[in-house]
Structure 1
């Protein structure tokens, strides 16, 4: 991923937390006719540096992941269109254009398939338990009949990625002047939308590179 220095996020703990809060990733692998992708929920095993997910056995993509094939997983967070009308520079010299602010994390590494029943059940438990952890009455895989879950598990394939490259990009107006940044924050907040407030807060949290 192209990352200018002022947009780079290199703190591993921040990147890990981003994955936990935006767990729906896009897994990209080389296919017979070029890149192939699948949108999948991931579980991060931070201590081991691993990402785990599963996909339908009917999805041909998993066949591309044999022999430790390298894959890329992208995670995308808050994003928003930025109009040049919000920039103080527009009133000064009008030499401004629109842009798009966004946050993203890329993780890459070799993929390993796991298909045995025990490993798949362990994965389903860890993934579900993590996603249900914020619920006042969390649902557990064990709440469903065992034979039913085991039957469904036969229709999936597990994927484990050993992450050897992890990078983050927070493009949130750090390259603009303080006056422009304040204008963008005010403009986003004035929209009154969740996405607007979320991006405004990200800009507040990051210092200008200028």
Structure 2
């Protein structure tokens, strides 16, 4: 992922906060066999602080690839919007000469994948996931040998993804003048389509932190 200096995360707390703010679904990418495309699996995940925690169905063909090469990438994307060209035309430039772009936030985790097959370890992984996704605890106990989850555990395999590098990008025209960025955020709010609102929030948040861009 190419990251311009003005698109880079301001610190680790920025991308960590963004992930914790409900961005818990992404794409697991694993290397394909020679001559074949990489395999990409969409999935929810949670984290224990140093690892991403994932489980997938045992019949998923991705397991063979991970066993051969545990180097994987997990990508989370959100708060994105298409920015029309006229919105980006500078002073004195005809609106039709403005160049469109995309705004988005993206975090890529470079990881070493470790497969979890032990029944109790898989149960613990699921407990951690449900503590995140169902914090009210409105589910049956997750225990090996106890229904309903005990009979389902053989049908899945777990993954702990040991994070070795994080690449975070917040692409919101932060190199443009503050007036331009504020104007685009207002236009996004007014357009109010798809992810326009969260995109505008990210742009305003970065604007408040960065102010005028200084190389």
TM-score normalised to structure 1 length: 0.88
Partner of 2:120: 118
Distance 1:130 1:150, change over 3 A: same
What is aligned with 1:52? 53
Q: State the match for 1:72 in structure 2.
A: 73
Shift of 1:141: 4.0
Are 1:41 and 2:44 matched, yes or no? yes
Match of 2:182, SS?
helix
Q: Is contact 2:142-2:149 (8 Å) kept?
A: no
Structure 1's unaligned 5+ residue stretches are none
Aligned to 1:186: 186
**Distance in 2 separating the partners of 1:174 and 1:10:** 11
- Please show how residues 62-141 of structure 1 align to structure 2 within 5 Å: 62-66=63-67, 69-87=70-88, 89=90, 92-94=92-94, 95-133=97-135, 137-141=136-140
- Contact 1:57–1:155 (CA<8 Å) still a contact in 2? yes
1:104 Cα offset (Å): 0.5
Cα deviation for residue 88 of structure 1 reads 5.5
Structure 2: runs of 5+ lacking an equivalent: none
Partner residue, 2:25: 24
In 2, Cα distance between the equivalents of 1:179 and 1:121?
Answer: 52
Pairs aligned (count): 204
Following superposition of structure 1 onto structure 2, how do residues 136-151 of structure 1 map, counting pairs within 5 Å?
A: 137-142=136-141, 146-151=146-151
User: Contact 1:107–1:167 at 8 Å: present in 2 too?
Assistant: yes
Computed over aligned residues only, the root mean square deviation of the Cα atoms, in angstroms, reads 2.1
CA contact (8 A) 1:124 1:141 kept: no
Tell me the TM-score normalised to structure 2 length: 0.86
The CA deviation string for residues 143-202 of structure 1, in whole angstroms up to 9 with x for no partner, is 899222111111111111110101210001212222321221121111134622211121
CA offsets, 1:53-91, max 9 Å, x none? 0111010101211266100000012100111222361x5
